[in-house]
Amino acid sequence: MKKFSDLYLKKLQIGSITTESNVFMAPMAGYTCYPFRLMCRKLGAGLAFTEMVSANGLKYNDKATAKLLYTDEAESPKAVQLLGSVPAAFEFACKGKYTSAYDIIDINMGCPVPNVIKSGEGCALTGDLLLASRIIEACKRSGKVVTVKCRPGMNQKSIVVSEFARMCEDSGADMITVHGRTRNMMYSGETIYEYIESAKKAVNIPVIANGGIYSEEDAVKMMDKTGADGIMIARCGLENPFIFSQLTGKHIDETKLSLIMWQADIAESVFDESTALAYIKKLSSYFMKGLHGTKKFKQEMYGSGNMQELRKILIRIFGEMEK
């Protein structure tokens, strides 16, 4: 089988920032918190983005929104994803205290969720290139590196990916990530490589390919078909975080048990116990996906009421699974 690390692995220049690899972890709501991002980076990811954060929420000092942005010097470079539709709110967020530690601002122009679309945010911005351009320019005024994550269009009858990519570059974006499905496809159906290839051919800035990558074979095929500069992993990163070490050829002496214990250590150090519990339970559920007899294990895990109890259960569960 073709190896990604032999064929396509490289450092990537994004504006003034150089990443150690061109394999990235996508922003995922509810998951890509500080501990998870550190894990992805340890395993070989060149970047790991925060979950999407409301630009308006930061403008109005929303405490819950601000909590999503915890980071420290152990994470570098740092990338935050912002969601919204008001250029002034983006500019305020990019220049404000909550994103001051972040090196990269990623603008969400690809989220397909109905409530986001109704607000004129996410993928809806592919239908308003002028507004999208103003948002990118507003973010660039912060002096930070700015990237954009988008879809090819709202549906197959409104494919704007080449024009949109050129607009991003002309407006100052330093990189774009293209999810190879239209908004109406949501997260299902085959990734359409031609859409990503069209974006790559339209611009000179790096183009990252996203959508439907669950194995090294998928990653190599994505690069073969699109000519992209790198790839972005999404759900697979939750189910099998070792995908990053597999793709980058990074030697890792870890098991799922050792990783989840390490995640528990970090979560307890930066979150309150209820937040740490919820996160470790969610992550452990993904780690168990595809393994035999997990229904009983998950019921027991979700019944635990504190971190000490949860740790004992996970040591036994993953110990049995990894024999």
Catalytic residues: 111
CA distance 161 to 109: 12
Do the bridges between strand 104-109 and strand 79-83 make them parallel or antiparallel, or are there none, so unpaired?
parallel
Q: Minimal CA–CA distance to 14: which of 195, 194, 198, 207?
A: 207
The answer to whether residues 53 and 65 touch, using CB atoms and an 8 Å cutoff, is: yes
The answer to whether residues 179 and 210 touch, using CB atoms and an 8 Å cutoff, is: yes
CA distance 91 to 323: 52
Angle at 294 between CA 291 and CA 298, to 5 degrees: 140
